[in-house]
A and B are shown apart, each in its own frame.
Chain A
Amino acid sequence: MSFEYKVEGGDFTRAGYASSQVKKMLKQLGVESNIIKRVVVCLYEAEVNIVAHAYRGVIYITLSSESINMRLVDEGPGIPNIPLAMQKGYSTASREVREMGFGAGMGLPNIKDNADQFNLTSEVGKGTVLEITINLARQAA
């Protein structure tokens, strides 16, 4: 199954909608709660990244009983230095964004820690594509 969620840059009031929807679906599938938590953390962080940094974006979700693939494609300033952006604590978020409780510089590294597959590409002046895959099947004990 595939779903699409549009994200508007700068609209923090609606941030978290996609993760709530995805969370409900994963509960219906009976996915283990620690895996659901990893998916939600990744998706929420990534969604807020678009809201905080880009002009607009689309989240493409592909869901099967094996895995969930989340592709977040945004139109925005892009990331000039990806290795730097992947460092814990590095942030370009404005003071306003930080005051709202976002932008601690943990977003991308945290997503990577929680993802089974992580792929980040960006073009300065155009936008960023972040692809995250998380396996849903129960881990063999």
Chain B
Amino acid sequence: MEKQFFHHALKIVEDACIGCSLCMRVCPTEALRIKGGKAHLIEDRCVDCGECYRKCPVHAIIIEQDDINRIFEYKHRIALVPAVIHGQFEKDVSMNEISTILKSMGFTWIYEVEHGAGVLKPAIEKLISDPTIPKPLISTYCPAVVRLIQVKFPSLTNNFAYVKAPLEMSAYYCRRVLRDLGYHNAEIGVFYVTPCAAKIAAVKAPVGDESSQITGVINMDLLFNRISKTLRNKAEYLSAEQSAVTLSPASMLWSLTNGEAVNIKGNTMAIDGMNNVIDFLEKLENDEITNVDFLELRACDEGCAGGVLLSSNRFLVAERLRNKAKNIISANPRSKGDSTPPIEAYFEYLMGKVKIMDEIKPRSMYSFSDNMEEAMKMMQKSRRLMCFLPGTDCGMCGTPGCQTLAEDIARHRAHISDCVFIRQNMEENGKLHPDTSKKIMKKIWGKENFEKNCFKKGAENESN
């Protein structure tokens, strides 16, 4: 049995939400509504891109993470850290320093996620050369994009490159190394330091893949705060010796825009930013795009450097990473005295694991009904309603625009009198009592918005 909804890492904290509707207006999949003065999520439409999280002025949208103490349930506690961590600080913070801090938090092995990217290039190129797979092959690297395609561009699910993310590959490697030393899988906890919400959702409920190799997730901002504090307090110690960088330049840049595409043979393209990706997929679906073998699509502008959980400016993060990659003279996968076999030694094993086994199915959010007759009736109704709605997309009905309201009414999720223009007309014609009209307004926007409040943002005695 299919799970009905995606797992979501984004949650709305009702008590904190002020119902300002900024999130509703930026959501690229029209997944948010305002009811009772609070934002509500339509779960099967949300793709966890995090645009709402960026926009919320009161931090009422949060990203769930695992309790850090959960790591102590395991004998071996692995932290998988993405390369974008290097771009988070003005100072060049080495992997040794990051490792020291993570070890002080209780982790036993710190490993960089992008080491796992090495096996992906041959795996993707193999798929490109397979004539039975439609082109362009679409990267499954960004989980928000995978979900976006499932809900909004279902016909393009056939174009997915069925290869796992570098994260999963690194997790397979770490577990395998420890198993070869005689430890059991149950003794190994693999925790991922995530730059975004979509990656969390993908780990908790992988689309298409049976189970993730990742035990839990730690949000990047938590780690950022720990490192920042240590940098302040122990400036001297941290500025000491620099360790050898172990990632190859290509792996170091893998998570940035064009990180995948430049490494893949053939005609490749890289597109970033949710709206750019949607525009491009629209064209692709119309068969307007030809002669592209591989498409790298990232929900965030500047790729993972723009991840919603990163604290530093995305352009600075990307620039720092590129500078760091430039200065890598040769990839040195092992530091002195390290007897752990490098990931390259497990190439064959990982190539056997790289394929996503389950089908990534379409989950269209558009369809009015499974029954086409019924869907036709609902569409007719929504189109007829558009004759009366003003087309101003003011959002006062608690939906992002007139068309969404019309569709919601057709789906029996809203009422025509939710529209403030319609109410005005009804009041004029004596069909609606002004009291009832105000009641409707309060039902959508809550009572508080009708009361004086000098503590609100921008008001006389602003206080949070």
Contact = CB atoms under 8 A, between A and B. Distances in A.
Contacts of A121: none
A24 B145 CA distance: 19
A99 to B, nearest CB: 14
B380 to A, nearest CB: 6
B454 interface: no
B375 A29 contact: yes
A27 B367 contact: yes
A24 B274 CA distance: 19
A44 B288 contact: yes
Interface residues of B, number: 24
Given A20-B282, A40-B285, A31 B372 contact: yes
A62 to B, nearest CB: 13
B367 A1 contact: no
B286 A30 contact: no
Interface in A93-141: 101, 136-138
Contacts of B407: 28
Of the listed residues B367, B375, B376, the one surrounded by the most CB atoms of chain A closer than 10 A to its CB is B376
A23 interface: yes
B282 A30 contact: no
Of the listed residues B155, B282, B362, the one surrounded by the most CB atoms of chain A closer than 10 A to its CB is B155
Contact of A33 (B155, B290, B368, B373): B155
Interface string B360-378: 0010101111101101100
A58 interface: no
Nearest to B152: A27
Interface in A20-58: 20, 23-25, 27-31, 33-34, 36-37, 40-41, 44
A20 B281 CA distance: 11
Contact of A136 (B155, B282, B372): B372
Contact of A30 (B285, B288, B364): B364
Contact of A28 (B285, B362, B370, B375): B375
B380 A30 contact: no
B121 interface: no
A92 interface: no
Of the listed residues B362, B364, B407, the one surrounded by the most CB atoms of chain A closer than 10 A to its CB is B364
Contacts of A33: 154-155, 362
Contact of B287 (A37, A136, A138): A37
Contacts of B372: 29-31, 65, 136-138
B285 A23 contact: yes
Contacts of A36: 155
A37 B155 contact: yes
Nearest to B379: A28
Interface string B331-373: 0000000000000000000000000000000101011111011
Which secondary structure dominates chain B's binding surface?
A: helix
Contacts of A138: 372
Interface in B283-302: 283, 285-288, 290
A10 interface: no
Interface residues of A, number: 25
Nearest to B377: A65
A82 B154 CA distance: 36
A16 B367 contact: no
A24 B364 CA distance: 11
Contacts of B367: 27-30
A29 B287 contact: no
Nearest to A34: B155
Contacts of A101: 290
Contacts of B370: 30
Contacts of B366: 24, 27-28
B368 A40 contact: no
A44 B379 contact: no
Contacts of A20: 282, 286
A29 B154 contact: no
A40 B373 contact: no
A36 B156 CA distance: 12
Given A27-B367, A30-B368, A34-B155, A65 B375 contact: yes
B383 interface: yes
Given A30-B364, A33-B154, A65-B376, 8 more contacts: A16-B288, A25-B379, A28-B366, A28-B368, A29-B376, A33-B155, A40-B286, A65-B372
Interface of B: 154-155, 282-283, 285-288, 290, 362, 364, 366-370, 372-373, 375-376, 379-380, 383, 407
Closest 7 CB pairs of A and B: A33-B155, A30-B367, A27-B366, A65-B376, A65-B372, A29-B375, A28-B366
22 contacts: A19-B286, A20-B282, A20-B286, A27-B364, A27-B366, A28-B366, A28-B407, A30-B364, A30-B368, A30-B375, A33-B154, A33-B362, A34-B155, A36-B155, A37-B287, A40-B286, A40-B287, A44-B288, A65-B372, A65-B373, A137-B372, A138-B372
